[in-house]
A and B are shown apart, each in its own frame.
Chain A
Amino acid sequence: MMSAPTFRTEIIQRLGRRARSQSDRVGVRTQRRIERIVLYLVLVVLGVVFFLPFYWVITTSIKTTPELNLMPPTWWPHTLTFEHYPEAITPEFGRYFVNSFIYAMATTVIVAITSTLLGFVLTKFSSKFGEIFFLGIIASMSVPFDLYVVPLFMLLLGIQKNTGVPMLNTYWGMVFPWIVFPFGTFLMRQAMLSVPNELLDAAKIDGASTLRSFWQIVLPLVRPNMAALCIFVFIWRYDEILWPLVVAQESNMYPISVGLVEYIGEYFIEFGQFTAASVVAIAPIFVLYILLQRYIIQGIALTGMKG
């Protein structure tokens, strides 16, 4: 039983509630929109802040020399010039570039081969010895490479003295400590765990040798992991300064990282020249990044890779 007034109030209340909920919905929608605009705005501002150093170095490299000497500086180049680039890219600079590529490339190829092979052997031919070795690999991953610089230098010196094989001031000496790369071995071992053993058993029954089944069956399956490893090893070694600095005794062996610093230290050169030089040094990695961005970011997210 419902009396008339309460019934009316009920209806009024319901209508009111509906109206309020509708206005709420509109309110929520505008609120969401405002939130989104604020979010994008904040991100764009942060993006500009993060990009500022790149903007500054690139614009500096294309300002004319008189403009570069203005104080305070101009915020954007008033006259464009590319004259600093040919000035910066001297034959020595080209040599540094080549050295960097040889060091980074050679290390990448060697690391890719040894890591994959070791990952294969460690997972598909499990043994006590392999397990002990893998423990050693894991343990050594927590010792930063920079700590090894002094004793590794002594090692190269010792090898050079005792065997007569030149180690210091050679590419070979720079690549030497990377022949077995703990992080790479770890990464490829993890990748190999997902390769089914049945495939290998089948290959064995068909009479394939160990190396052949590695080459033809396992390798194609772990290619994505190998590619990720290669990209990172290349980027890290291209950027490295301490170890190449120690091994390279003469300027003809300097990689670009050491060469850039020499640029600042030894001779006074103009702002335009060395900003141009650093733009050129960044360029290959930048191109690599643009081409493989998604791949690189996924690789980091999955493994947390870090030199």
Chain B
Amino acid sequence: MRDQRFFPKDLTAIVVLLAAAAFFALVRLYPIADALLLSFQRKVGAQEVWVGLENFRTLSTDTIFLQSIWNSFRYTAMAVPGVLVVGLILALLVNNVKNTFWRGIFTGAFFLAYVVPLVAVAVMWRYMYLPSRMGLFNALLGLGNLGPIGWLDSTQTALPSLAIVRVWKYSGYAMVLFLAGLQAIPETFYEAAMIDGANRWQRFRNITLPLLGPTTVFVVMVSILSAFMMFTETYVMTGGMFTSSVRGGPDFSTTTMVVNIYTTAFERFKMEYASAMTVVLLLLMLIVSIIQYRNLRPTWEY
């Protein structure tokens, strides 16, 4: 390792680095510090007053806040396994298509949902989830004399309905990653197993699944991170037209942590309280990251 200087020798490089670092500190580091400071304060009139841990004490008894944490966890627990399983099944199926043309068509079709804007997607799902027979799903259920289900209108089904949208939208993304993982598994492994007389399930169980480990870990980590921060689905699909409930409803059953932060900060204008929530969420994310890093890291390579 050669001796390294603290700054590069080149003037242009120094300018670029310093400018970027300063800006990075401004938009990525300072805001975190600011949120931390703000979370210990409260606005009294036009004055910020230091109140210590009061915001956090209020948070610990704030039922809506506690429910929002619970909702975020529930939503993640429903959506992530769905994305993972559907994505893997799609990848295994598509991987068996040897015809390049059809393979491209199928890959493209399943991946389309990931690319199109989530907001527009959520708008169309909202329309399909109409609680009357006018909605597509209830009309389909009607063919079998089932339902109608309230979907977004009932506290029981609202959050699962939003999780279904995520499974639909992100399975294609998981599929593409799994496909790349499948292609990296050497064909000789399967040939050797076949000579030993391993059947299809045994080959899947003992070769494919373990060797997809690193891909799976990546998909799980990315999916958890994104599902935990869910905002758009609730914002677009609840409240407003066709429904009597407010956004995040019915009865706060779709109010996730980010939704709660947004309403607290920008509809009720309690910036300090929202900052305290942000800090709690940041800590939660930190814990989740550490657990993932500790437990999901594959300990071997091939």
| Complex: A275 Cα to B123 Cα, angstroms | 8
Q: B31 contacts which of A142, A152, A265 (Cβ < 8 Å)?
A: A152
- CB neighbours (8 Å) of A56 from chain B are 124, 127-128, 136
Q: Is B104 an interface residue (CB 8 A)?
A: yes
Cβ–Cβ contact B235 & A261, under 8 A? yes
Contact size range, B: 35 or more
Of the stretches B49-57, B204-212, B236-244, the one at the interface is: B236-244
Nearest CB to that of B292 among chain A residues? Answer: A142
Cβ–Cβ contact A150 & B119, under 8 A? no
Cβ–Cβ contact A275 & B31, under 8 A? no
- CB neighbours (8 Å) of A281 from chain B are 117, 119-120
Q: Is B287 an interface residue (CB 8 A)?
A: no
Cβ–Cβ contact A177 & B97, under 8 A? no
Of the stretches B9-17, B149-157, B186-194, B294-302, the one at the interface is: B9-17
Cβ–Cβ contact B132 & A152, under 8 A? no
What mask results when residues 239 to 271 of chain B are scored 1 for a CB within 8 Å of chain A, else 0?
Answer: 111000000000000000010011001100001
| Complex: A275 Cα to B128 Cα, angstroms | 11
Known interface pairs A47-B109, A47-B110, A147-B285. Does A137 touch B24 (Cβ–Cβ under 8 Å)?
yes
Known interface pairs A118-B20, A147-B278. Does A57 touch B97 (Cβ–Cβ under 8 Å)?
no
B201 to chain A minimum Cβ distance, whole angstroms, is: 15
- CB neighbours (8 Å) of B120 from chain A are 260, 278, 281-282
| Complex: A47 Cα to B105 Cα, angstroms | 10
Q: Is A264 an interface residue (CB 8 A)?
A: yes
Cβ–Cβ contact A285 & B117, under 8 A? yes
Q: Is A210 an interface residue (CB 8 A)?
A: yes
| Complex: A122 Cα to B4 Cα, angstroms | 13
Nearest CB to that of B29 among chain A residues? Answer: A136
Cβ–Cβ contact B127 & A43, under 8 A? no
Q: Which A residues between 261 and 294 are near B, CB-CB below 8 angstroms? A: 261, 264-265, 268, 271, 274-275, 277-278, 281-282, 285-286, 289, 293-294
- CB neighbours (8 Å) of A148 from chain B are 27-28, 31-32
Nearest CB to that of B173 among chain A residues? Answer: A300
Q: Is A90 an interface residue (CB 8 A)?
A: no
- Quick one: which of B32, B104, B112, B281 has the most chain A CB within 10 A? B112
Cβ–Cβ contact B93 & A42, under 8 A? yes
Residues of A within 8 A of B (CB): 39-40, 42-43, 46-47, 50-54, 56-57, 60, 71-73, 114, 117-118, 121-122, 124-131, 133, 136-137, 140, 142-144, 146-155, 176-177, 179-180, 182, 209-211, 235, 238-239, 241-242, 245-246, 256-257, 260-261, 264-265, 268, 271, 274-275, 277-278, 281-282, 285-286, 289, 293-294, 296-297, 300-302, 304, 306-307
